[in-house]
Amino acid sequence: MRRDPYEVLGVDRGASRQEIQAAYRRLARRYHPDVNADPGAAERFRQINEAYAVLSGAAAGARHDGRTTATDGSGSAVGGRRVRVHTGGTWVRAGGTGRRRGEDHTIDIEITVEEAYGGGRRQITVSTSDGPAERQVTFPPGATDDTRIRLAGLGGAGHGGGPDGDLYLMVRLADHRRYRVAGRDVTVDLPVTPWEAALGATVRLDLPGRSVDLVLPPGTSTGRRLRLDGHGLPNPDGPAGDLHAVVTIVVPDQLSAEERRLFQRLARRSTFDPRSADPGQPSTPPTGSAP
């Protein structure tokens, strides 16, 4: 590198491996081309990756002076010009001419619940030795929070002929105005009319890419949960999650003259009192006569 890697990451020469990692992650999130549209962000991101590869490989927190000091796999300082360091699961030789695998990188990618149901594709910008490049990412149906997608060879550059590291995309589900996801189970509100709730009905519920029919039992109240096994998010390695439909009784904003007469007649005739100690028992019979 032309610039001092410690200066690029903004850490002291005696910084620990944890301090180097923390500085790298903070700067990488700030300057990644996917989140920073500044024209100089891509170059800054490349410098950050190179600086981190230099400092995290052989030095692992010790002085990067190219002469005598490095660390072993446990983080202890050892002497000698060439030592073996454990990086990314592969033992390699450290030193000015040794082969070293590039660092693995991880970035978040946000998808919708609809994409989690059916899968999808997304264009992302990655940093390569030739500068920023567009890559198309395919994620499968059933991707959930913390699903990792591996893009081989798109991480940090290798050194001394070593292989490049990998890029991992960590899936995050975006908040949805309608669906609430917990693991692979999906909860959705099911609006129904007062007469559907009272008499029972078969109602249609729209889901991403398909619709299902639910049997609403007579006497259903707001808050009742109806479960449909296997209608949650798909699972490529096992059973799908479940769908939970939560009933919400919705009344019309405006009533026609006939609807108002019918509701008024029901109000005069019904003995049901939801505010009594036992809603299942009739209240005091109403006075007056119904038409």
Residue appearing with tokens 């002076």: 65
Same domain? For 233 and 94 the reply is no
β-bridge pairing 225-228 and 243-249: antiparallel
pLDDT value of position 84: 27
- % the chain with pLDDT above 70: 77
Give the per-residue pLDDT at 21: 82
Domain assignment of residue 268, yes or no:
no
pLDDT higher than 90, residue 179: yes
Does some domain include residue 273?
no
The domain tally of the chain equals 2
Residue 282 resides in a domain: no
Residue 271 lies in a domain: no
Q: Tell me, yes or no, whether 238 and 108 share the same domain.
A: no
Same domain, 159 and 190: no
Does residue 90 carry a pLDDT above 50?
A: no
Question: Residue 128: pLDDT band by 50, 70, 90 thresholds?
Answer: low
Clarify whether residues 98 and 149 are in a common domain. Answer: yes
Per-residue pLDDT band at 88 (split at 50, 70, 90): very low
Range of the domain at 63: 5-173
What is the rounded average pLDDT of the residues 125-141?
Answer: 77
Say if 57 falls within a structural domain: yes
Integer angstrom CA distances of residue 78 from 19, 53, 71, 195, 268: 20, 20, 6, 79, 90
Q: Are residues 95 and 229 in the same domain?
A: no
Q: Alpha-carbon distance 231 to 156, whole Å?
A: 40
In 3-state terms, what secondary structure has residue 176?
coil
Burial-class residue 88 by CB neighbours within 10 Å (0-12, 13-18, 19+): middle
Average pLDDT over residues 173-199: 93
Residue with token string 């209240």: 283
Length reported for the chain: 291
What band does 96 get if pLDDT is binned at 50, 70 and 90?
very low
Among 270, 264, 258, 255, smallest CA distance to 291 is for 264
| pLDDT (0 to 100) of residue 86 | 27
What is the model's pLDDT at position 263?
92
pLDDT confidence tier of residue 63, bands split at 50, 70 and 90:
very low
For residue 278, being part of any structural domain is answered with: no
CB 100 within 8 A of CB 157: no
169/185 same-domain check: no
- Kind of pairing between the strands at 77-78 and 70-71: antiparallel
169, 183: one domain: no
Q: What is the mean pLDDT of the chain?
A: 77
- Is residue 77 predicted with pLDDT exceeding 60? no
Where a domain ends, among 145, 173, 201?
A: 173
* Domain end position, chosen among 143, 173, 203: 173
Instruction: Say yes or no to pLDDT of 58 above 70.
Output: no
pLDDT in tens, 2-36: 678 888 989 988 888 888 888 888 888 788 776 77
Q: What are phi and psi of 159, to 5 degrees?
A: -125, 145
Residues 52 and 155 in one domain: yes
Cα–Cα distance measured from residue 21 to residue 6, given in angstroms and rounded to the nearest whole number: 12
- Give yes or no for residue 89 having a pLDDT over 50: no
We report the CATH number of the domain holding residue 16 as 2.60.260.20
pLDDT higher at 8 or 154: 8
Question: Over the range 33-69, which residues count as b (16 or more CB within 10 Å of their CB) and which as e?
Answer: bbeeeeeebbebbbbbbbbbbbbbbbbbbbebeeeeb
Q: What is the pTM of this model?
A: 0.56
Are 65 and 133 part of one and the same domain?
yes
Q: What is the pLDDT of residue 91?
A: 31
Q: Which residue has the tokens 């929070």?
A: 145
Q: Could you say which DSSP state residue 249 is in?
A: E
Q: Where are the beta strands (DSSP E) in the chain?
A: 70-71, 77-78, 84-87, 90-93, 105-111, 120-128, 131-139, 148-151, 167-173, 179-182, 185-192, 201-207, 210-216, 225-228, 243-249
Q: Are 112 and 246 in a shared domain?
A: no
